[in-house]
Chain A
Amino acid sequence: MEHKVKSNINTNANTIIEIKGLGKTYSGGQVALNDINLDIKEGEILALLGPNGAGKTTLISAVCGLINPTSGSVKVAGFDIRKDYRRTRELIGLVPQELTLGAFELVVNTVNLSRGLFGKKPDEQYIDSILEKLTLSDKKNAMVQQLSGGMKRRVLIAKALSHQPRILFLDEPTAGVDVELRKDMWALVEELRRDGVTIILTTHYIEEAEEIADRVGVINNGQLLLLEDKNTLMQKMGNKQLLIELKDPVSAIPESLANYRLGLSADGTKLSYEYDIKSERTGITGLLGDLNKAGLPFKDLVTSQSSLEDIFVELVGAQP
């Protein structure tokens, strides 16, 4: 897919979206966003994690112009989203969370409508190439209402890509989507990343964020709790666990090992040891020596790192 780099990007720095002090309070008094500050770099994939109602969609809606922020400012490619809405919006493609599509339209017509709305002249060849990438070619002249949920999701992605955006928002793109589409979609995301498209996605599938994102932001109660390079984050916050499989089961942890933070599996065959990878001494060597001294031979050793999900649960759980 050819994404020509637009020449009207008014910035030398590689920040493509600059969010400053963004707040949104709905008329009922509900605070959806509270002083969000976030710089999104050009070409990166940023995953926004957060429980339902955390403010992820509100944040996306504010950048795309679907809601009026109560405070703060947003700049896209150096342009203010309110004053220069034409310039900022034409750079953005949005795949909404809900399957919102007109019922009585042909697939190709609704995709062409999107392209037109974003000010681009019709381009049959390009639209055909998108439909093909999303395996929608044979549904080109089908009525939208006749499509399955997964197919509708593909149409929404085709609509968002119809005007060759430089920034793509994917709001819960894999919610209720089958394995095949998820695979196709991540392949497409990879391809877009290669073309330099900035991608911001919200997801509940933390393993996906872990796999695909460059940076991770965690939002809860309208606040950005954390924004970090994914690898740094996992290094910084991740504890590692060493799992020791014993040759013979034990009923309790011997007293000589009481100094180590150990756990024992219910069947008494596995010991687990939590250690901090940041500290200079992990204590593993000492532990293995003491295990020998205690007369506990082991069969196998496995290490595992805490996942983004653990980090996420820990962060969100710690919030009042």
Chain B
Amino acid sequence: MNIEAVKALYFSEMRRTRNTLMQSIASPVISTALYFVVFGSAIGSRIQSVDGVPYGLFIVPGLMMLSLLTQSISNASFGIFFPKFTGTIYEIMSAPISHFEIILGYVGAAATKSLIIGSIILITAAFFVELRIAHPFWMIAFFLLTCISFSLFGFIIGLWADNFEKLQLIPLLVITPLVFLGGSFYSVSMLPEFWQKVSLMNPVLYLISGFRWSFFEVSDVSVTTSLTMVVLFLVVCLAIVWWMFKTGYKIKP
């Protein structure tokens, strides 16, 4: 194992994050605060509670997921897209480094950044609502799994995209709607039965549901189903990225 290479890639990516510190940290703090003002206070004051949880508190896991998913994808996809775009990827491809080590460096850094952002959101939320976490272990497990699997998904998008438009396409057109419709701000049980069934086809629903369960012990689907879905997503992403490297897809003619 080329540990030095993994470290070099990881810290190089983390340095990039540090260079855009304001954007990386201020932006999730501000947007979380805004969500709490709009949904938590303004609208939330008219909604007593959802599944027995005060509305302001109810949206915390969904809000975290919203940021985690979008941030993981955008960080990891940009991280690998940029060297492709500038051509500096030649160095990584010619280095004595395995595909797994490349992924470890890039995805590790993107996931770390997401973990930091998620933690900041949680801390910000603590200023607005009285937080309670019923199952801290499972909360951390879902938190970690989400950061890793969606960073991996972002990495795939970064490898696949050959222009900036494609890089934005999936996060904007697919992920954002899925997160909003996955019950970030409401319980799926509030929907008519037909739309409840449709919602079950949304993979993000399982993620948010499981994460919310770890906070309040309320969920739309069973926690085992949630966990299985997250792990399944991770495995699928791993398989895709393995295939991409194996075939040299868009990186090695």
Listed in ascending order, the chain A residues whose CB lies under 8 Å from chain B are 26-27, 64-68, 85-90, 92, 94, 96, 98, 100-105, 109, 112-121, 159
A114 and B91 contacting across the interface, CB-CB below 8 Å: yes
A109 and B95 contacting across the interface, CB-CB below 8 Å: no
Against A, the Cβ 8 Å flags (1 = close, 0 = not) of B82-106 are: 1100111011111111100000000
B5 and A117 contacting across the interface, CB-CB below 8 Å: yes
Say yes or no for B224: interface residue by CB 8 A criterion: no
A68 and B248 contacting across the interface, CB-CB below 8 Å: yes
B96 and A98 contacting across the interface, CB-CB below 8 Å: no
Known: A66-B94, A68-B252, A117-B97. Contact between A100 and B19, CB under 8 A? Answer: no
B92 and A117 contacting across the interface, CB-CB below 8 Å: yes
B16 and A104 contacting across the interface, CB-CB below 8 Å: yes
B253 and A102 contacting across the interface, CB-CB below 8 Å: no
A89 and B252 contacting across the interface, CB-CB below 8 Å: no
- CB neighbours of B9 from chain A (8 A): 113, 116-117
Q: List 8 A-B contacts (CB under 8 A).
A: A68-B253, A89-B94, A89-B96, A100-B86, A100-B87, A100-B90, A105-B12, A116-B5
CA distance A118 to B16 in the complex (A): 20
CA distance A114 to B93 in the complex (A): 12
Say yes or no for B8: interface residue by CB 8 A criterion: yes
Say yes or no for B130: interface residue by CB 8 A criterion: no
- CB neighbours of B97 from chain A (8 A): 117, 119
CA distance A96 to B90 in the complex (A): 8
Closest chain-A Cβ to B15's Cβ sits at a distance in Å of 7
- CB neighbours of A117 from chain B (8 A): 4-5, 8-9, 91-92, 95, 97
**Across the A-B interface, the 9 shortest Cβ-Cβ residue pairs:** A116-B8, A100-B87, A117-B95, A86-B96, A89-B96, A64-B94, A90-B96, A119-B2, A117-B5
CA distance A119 to B253 in the complex (A): 25
Known: A117-B9, A120-B4. Contact between A103 and B86, CB under 8 A? Answer: yes
Listed in ascending order, the chain B residues whose CB lies under 8 Å from chain A are 2, 4-5, 7-9, 12, 15-16, 19, 82-83, 86-88, 90-98, 248, 252-253
Look across to chain B and name the residue whose beta carbon is closest to the beta carbon of A28.
B253
Most buried by A among B2, B5, B82, B94: B94
B252 and A102 contacting across the interface, CB-CB below 8 Å: no
Q: Is the interface of A mostly helix, strand, loop or mixed?
A: loop
A119 and B88 contacting across the interface, CB-CB below 8 Å: no
CA distance A67 to B8 in the complex (A): 23
CA distance A12 to B22 in the complex (A): 57
B90 and A66 contacting across the interface, CB-CB below 8 Å: yes
CA distance A96 to B91 in the complex (A): 9
Closest chain-B Cβ to A100's Cβ sits at a distance in Å of 3
- CB neighbours of B5 from chain A (8 A): 116-119
Look across to chain B and name the residue whose beta carbon is closest to the beta carbon of A58.
B253
B12 and A113 contacting across the interface, CB-CB below 8 Å: yes
CA distance A98 to B88 in the complex (A): 10
- CB neighbours of B93 from chain A (8 A): 65-66
Look across to chain A and name the residue whose beta carbon is closest to the beta carbon of B8.
A116
- CB neighbours of A115 from chain B (8 A): 8
CA distance A98 to B90 in the complex (A): 11
Look across to chain B and name the residue whose beta carbon is closest to the beta carbon of A91.
B96
The one of A26, A85, A104 that contacts B96, using a Cβ cutoff of 8 Å: A85
Known: A86-B96, A100-B87. Contact between A67 and B253, CB under 8 A? Answer: yes
CA distance A88 to B2 in the complex (A): 14
Closest chain-B Cβ to A84's Cβ sits at a distance in Å of 10
The one of B16, B83, B96 that contacts A119, using a Cβ cutoff of 8 Å: B96
- CB neighbours of A88 from chain B (8 A): 96
Look across to chain B and name the residue whose beta carbon is closest to the beta carbon of A88.
B96
- CB neighbours of A87 from chain B (8 A): 96
- CB neighbours of A114 from chain B (8 A): 91
Known: A68-B248, A113-B12. Contact between A118 and B96, CB under 8 A? Answer: yes
A98 and B4 contacting across the interface, CB-CB below 8 Å: no
Look across to chain A and name the residue whose beta carbon is closest to the beta carbon of B83.
A102
Look across to chain A and name the residue whose beta carbon is closest to the beta carbon of B92.
A117
CA distance A66 to B83 in the complex (A): 14
A101 and B88 contacting across the interface, CB-CB below 8 Å: yes
CA distance A94 to B93 in the complex (A): 11
- CB neighbours of B87 from chain A (8 A): 96, 98, 100
A94 and B90 contacting across the interface, CB-CB below 8 Å: yes
- CB neighbours of B82 from chain A (8 A): 102
- CB neighbours of A118 from chain B (8 A): 5, 95-96
Look across to chain A and name the residue whose beta carbon is closest to the beta carbon of B20.
A104
- CB neighbours of B12 from chain A (8 A): 105, 109, 113
Look across to chain B and name the residue whose beta carbon is closest to the beta carbon of A27.
B253
CA distance A103 to B16 in the complex (A): 11
